[in-house]
Structure 1
Amino acid sequence: MRVQAKICGLTTFETLDTAVRHGASHVGFVFFPPSPRNLGFDQARALATRAPAHVQKIGVFVDPDDAMLDAALAAGLDAVQLHKVTPDRAAAIRRRVPVWVALAVKTAADLRAAAGFQAAADRILYDAKTPEGAALPGGMGLRFDWTLLQGHRPPLPWALSGGLDPDNVAEAIRVTGAPQVDVSSGVESAPGVKDVAKIAAFLQAVARC
């Protein structure tokens, strides 16, 4: 089965078009003001409208309130990716839209939290845990020990994130068996600035797996 790939934190038509052209299955739009990848709702709507129907549009949030969700969903999202959310809140949001839950991982013990979302989410995103007090919950180029996922039985469909780039994604897939990978800072030339050459290289590396 072909490994799927999500390019997250897109902000321009050029980078969106590059992701689509090189085979991204999903594209991510960030709705979190502290992030350098944050989008306004009108920007997100324009990007989502440009993306073809076969590419899933995922909105990325940090424990959003209902008003933010309402505005973002109107932009044409297919699913939402939630960071720092409880199972109860994820389940409530899932009644409106498919839900991915980002699980911050540093040790094997962190993986156990995935079980709590079995009835509350559609997909688990295993991401690297950021340092205590960090402004962002992800997109910082950090990775966790991929061997932690060896022998782990995910309770839901899942994806791997955290510190991936064109040079290491093939190894990450080999070590973890990930059916889907997610990249943001690993295809940037500066925080929030996607690099079309890196996007293409990343997706080409995934396609070869």
Structure 2
Amino acid sequence: MPAPAIKICGISTPGALEAAIRARAAYIGLNFFPKSPRFVSPGQAAELSERAEGRVRRVGLFVDADDDALAQFIAATQLDGLQLHGSESPERTAQVRARFGLPVWKALSVASADDVAHAHAYAGAADLILFDAKTPKGALPGGMGLSFDWSLVAQWKGAVAWGLAGGLTPENVAEAVALTGAPLVDTSSGVESAPGIKDEGKIAAFCAAVQRA
């Protein structure tokens, strides 16, 4: 089985971007949620995107953004995909995909088998489902370093491609891959020294652990 694809989310500096590329990540995430410590402005995103072009795929992360906000960031940044990380319904997800003509990833918060089963509703609307940990009410929707019971998505089969997120670190990602068979893994806080501050050594260690897995 090939090693999973890797996404390093919350990239906000050239150093972190270069570390992700050196470590052979397939995707980087640019966070456009203003409340996040990983938020990047359209100007920052444009600079990072230009540096990344042709070297790694760029996914923009949005939380319940309206069309105007999506259009603003998409215009400023040459994105290869959109990640919807809020409460977007299958209908809204399909609408975004149709309007902007980019692949759409839908993050789903998981705490139970019912949460996983909800992924089937996004068949035909999303290009990829990202199973993530459910965060406490009122907290940020992701990037909290929380994980969930990976057995809930072990060898998940559905009509939509999928990936695993939520509390993945260099120390636990190989175990997560072995248990779930995830074809893609996504980390943000797991490769940071502080919220929003990427650690280049941890990025390298994370990617190496995945590639060995």
Q: Give me the TM-score of the superposition, normalised by structure 1.
A: 0.97
Percentage of pairs with the same residue: 51
User: 1:190 maps to which residue?
Assistant: 194
Off by >2 Å, runs of 4+ in structure 1: none
Gaps of 5+ in 1: none
Cα RMSD between the aligned structures?
Answer: 1.0
Gaps of 5+ in 2: none
Q: Give me the TM-score of the superposition, normalised by structure 2.
A: 0.95
Which of 142, 146, 150 is equivalent to 1:142?
A: 146
For 1:33-112, list aligned pairs within 5 A.
Answer: 33-74=34-75, 75-83=77-85, 84-95=87-98, 96=100, 97-112=102-117
Shift of the alpha carbon at 1:3? 1.2
Aligned length in residues: 208
SS at match of 1:27: strand
SS at match of 1:109: helix
For 1:115-154, list aligned pairs within 5 A.
Answer: 115-134=120-139, 136-150=140-154, 152-154=156-158
The one-letter code matched in structure 2 to 1:10 is: I
For 1:166-185, list aligned pairs within 5 A.
Answer: 166-185=170-189
Which of 161, 170, 182 is equivalent to 2:165?
A: 161
Q: Deviations over 1:107-163 (max 9, x none)?
A: 1111111011101110000000111221x1000000000011125323311110000
Which of 197, 205, 208 is equivalent to 2:209?
A: 205
Shift of the alpha carbon at 1:53? 1.4
Kept after mapping to 1: 8 A contact 2:108/2:130: yes
Kept after mapping to 1: 8 A contact 2:191/2:203: yes
The one-letter code matched in structure 2 to 1:30 is: N
Partner Cα distance (2:154, 2:33) in 1:
32
Kept after mapping to 1: 8 A contact 2:148/2:166: yes
